[in-house]
Amino acid sequence: MPRRAVLPAGVSSASFARALAQLSKVVGSGHVLTDREALLPYEKLMLAAPADEYAPSGAILAATVEQVQGVLAVCNKYRVPLWPISTGRNFGYGGALPATRGQLILDLKRMDRILDVDPVLSTALVEPGVTYQQLHDHIAERNLPLWLDFPGGGPLVGPLGNTLERGTGSTPYADHFAHACGMEVVLADGRILRTGMGSLPGTHSWQAYRYGYGPHLDGLFTQSNFAVVTKLGLWLMPAPASYRTILVQYSDDSALERAVDTIRPLRLAGTIANPCALSNAGLALTAYMRRAELYQNGGAIPDNVVLAAARQHGIDAWNLTFTLYGTVEQIAPNLEIVTRAFEMSGGRVDPDYHDPSQVNELNLEAFRLLDWVGGGGLVWLDPVSAARGADAARQRDIARSVLGRHGFDYLAAPTVYGRDLHHLIALVFDHGDPQALQRARTAFRELAAAFLHNGYGLCRTGIDYMTALANAYGDVNVAVNRAIKHALDPNGILAPGKAGIR
């Protein structure tokens, strides 16, 4: 059955048709997609919400900065809202779909040039469509001693989109925005801004120094809708002389608090340079089996059942992996220090572990999580706390109680980045089952609200919760974002609703 055409809010079908005709002139008619079949790849939603609520009116595939400028001019003229995406995966946060129904997706995957990789300074400059796989291959083909830091989506996603969302990985360069240097953005009125040193004529240091002169603007273009980002500078990690990945396991649930309080000083001292993720038994078990093989009764799986199954696969209540990087001489004393500290906290230390994501090996392991129940539903929650054991334990208790009440398992990896801890929680469900979807929707909203009520703000969220989360950060925050939005995009054509900003 043909679907009724989706129109941008407030735009008549005649006006939209004129806009599309002009957009075809800008990008070529083959790069303006409006029919159902062509839009299907953009419409897959993992979140606990019906995809139809977020259906796009079409997709435009621009190939150059000039085309992006041309698209913006047309969209300003006809007030057509545009939702920019880069590699468009955004797994577990909304995929390629816009925050409100009827936006036109501006797909930048055709802009996929690696503009520079500098092995001396360990930097790169990339366009939006560049994937981690592509950058990894580029570096490998040239045999350059540079490492990448992959987010959970691994090879499929790209550094530009992930950095704009302030995504994270698993090496010492895990905080992607902290390792970005210089942006090129196209403002809604078509002007091009290069941040940091990038606007200085004859600059040689765009990817070397982040701040330039005056206000540091780059943050404005992350988790926002103030511009279309067309280039991003990256700092890459020089390949270390050697490394050693360590697994620390705790056999009782109550060890979480001790573990976090042991990790924090080692992270702050720099003895451990990468994030410390403590996977719980449930999350670790998803790599080995499906839920139905373990449990068919209603409700969340009892903890003792999860733990018994986990132990058969060498998993325990809490499983921490981190890596020591450097020369053999540097690693040896650090290994002694961490071994002593973790053993004193009651952990068992295995100093010969392997975790691909911590050592520059692309992998798709994170996707096994989706097989736990099947059906493709996935929502991430990442409430932030200070890196204190008591907070991690409190977050765990909140999550377990809310999820359990709705029959969901607590699958989590509280992760110490430094002074902050992100309690990463996966809510997986069968998206094809309307009852499961409704249950997941209720559980997600209740859990997010419970975290906020306790002062634990989420640091990223899906398209279905952006406004609620932005509002939770307070009226003044909302008003300042709105004022910037109006100054830079007076017609409000860029991604309305992104990060709750309109």
Q: What is the 3-state secondary structure (H, E, C) of 197-258?
A: HHHCCCCCCCCCCCCCCCCCCHHHHCCCCCCEEEEEEEECEECCCEEEEEEEEECCCCHHHH
Would you say 128 or 212 has its CB closer to ligand ADP? 128
Interior/surface letters 388-406, b for 16+ CB within 10 angstroms, e for the rest: bbebbbbbbebbbebbbeb
Judge residue 118's burial from the number of C-beta atoms within 10 Å of its C-beta, 0-12 exposed, 13-18 middle, 19 or more buried: middle
Residues that bind ligand ADP (CB under 6 A): 84-90, 108, 128, 153, 157-158, 161-162, 164-165, 228-229, 495, 498
Would you say 56 or 389 has its CB closer to ligand ADP? 56
Instruction: Work out how close the CB of 243 gets to ligand ADP at its nearest, in angstroms, rounded to a whole number.
Output: 26
Instruction: Work out how close the CB of 410 gets to ligand ADP at its nearest, in angstroms, rounded to a whole number.
Output: 25
Would you say 85 or 458 has its CB closer to ligand ADP? 85
Tokens of 500: 């709750």
Would you say 162 or 274 has its CB closer to ligand ADP? 162
Instruction: Work out how close the CB of 496 gets to ligand ADP at its nearest, in angstroms, rounded to a whole number.
Output: 11
Using Cβ positions, the residue closest to ligand ADP within the complex turns out to be: 161
Would you say 42 or 322 has its CB closer to ligand ADP? 42
Instruction: Work out how close the CB of 129 gets to ligand ADP at its nearest, in angstroms, rounded to a whole number.
Output: 9
Instruction: Work out how close the CB of 205 gets to ligand ADP at its nearest, in angstroms, rounded to a whole number.
Output: 23
Instruction: Work out how close the CB of 229 gets to ligand ADP at its nearest, in angstroms, rounded to a whole number.
Output: 4
Q: Which residue has the tokens 């897959």?
A: 44
- Give CA–CA dist 260/273, Å, rounded: 15
Would you say 86 or 280 has its CB closer to ligand ADP? 86
Half-sphere exposure of 380 (CA within 13 A, CB side): 24
Contact partners, residue 370, CB within 8 Å, separation at least 6: 376, 378, 428
Contact partners, residue 31, CB within 8 Å, separation at least 6: 60, 61, 62, 63, 110
Instruction: Work out how close the CB of 475 gets to ligand ADP at its nearest, in angstroms, rounded to a whole number.
Output: 24
Instruction: Work out how close the CB of 451 gets to ligand ADP at its nearest, in angstroms, rounded to a whole number.
Output: 22
Would you say 165 or 409 has its CB closer to ligand ADP? 165
Interior/surface letters 65-91, b for 16+ CB within 10 angstroms, e for the rest: bebbbbbbebbbebebbbbbbbbbbbb
Would you say 91 or 250 has its CB closer to ligand ADP? 91
Would you say 56 or 161 has its CB closer to ligand ADP? 161
Distances (CA, A) of 416 to 14, 65, 422: 53, 38, 7
SS3 410: coil
Phi, psi of 342 (to 5 degrees): -75, -35
Q: What is the DSSP letter of 171?
A: S
Instruction: Work out how close the CB of 162 gets to ligand ADP at its nearest, in angstroms, rounded to a whole number.
Output: 4
Instruction: Work out how close the CB of 236 gets to ligand ADP at its nearest, in angstroms, rounded to a whole number.
Output: 17
Phi, psi of 60 (to 5 degrees): -120, 130
Would you say 166 or 311 has its CB closer to ligand ADP? 166
Interior/surface letters 458-496, b for 16+ CB within 10 angstroms, e for the rest: bbbbbbbbbbebbebeeeeebeebeeebeebbebbbbbb
Instruction: Work out how close the CB of 253 gets to ligand ADP at its nearest, in angstroms, rounded to a whole number.
Output: 32
Count CB atoms within 10 A of the CB of residue 12.
11
Would you say 8 or 84 has its CB closer to ligand ADP? 84
Tokens of 42: 């953009």
Amino acid at 223: Q
Sign of the alpha-carbon torsion through 147, 149, 153, 159: negative
Instruction: Work out how close the CB of 262 gets to ligand ADP at its nearest, in angstroms, rounded to a whole number.
Output: 33
Would you say 108 or 425 has its CB closer to ligand ADP? 108
Half-sphere exposure of 199 (CA within 13 A, CB side): 15
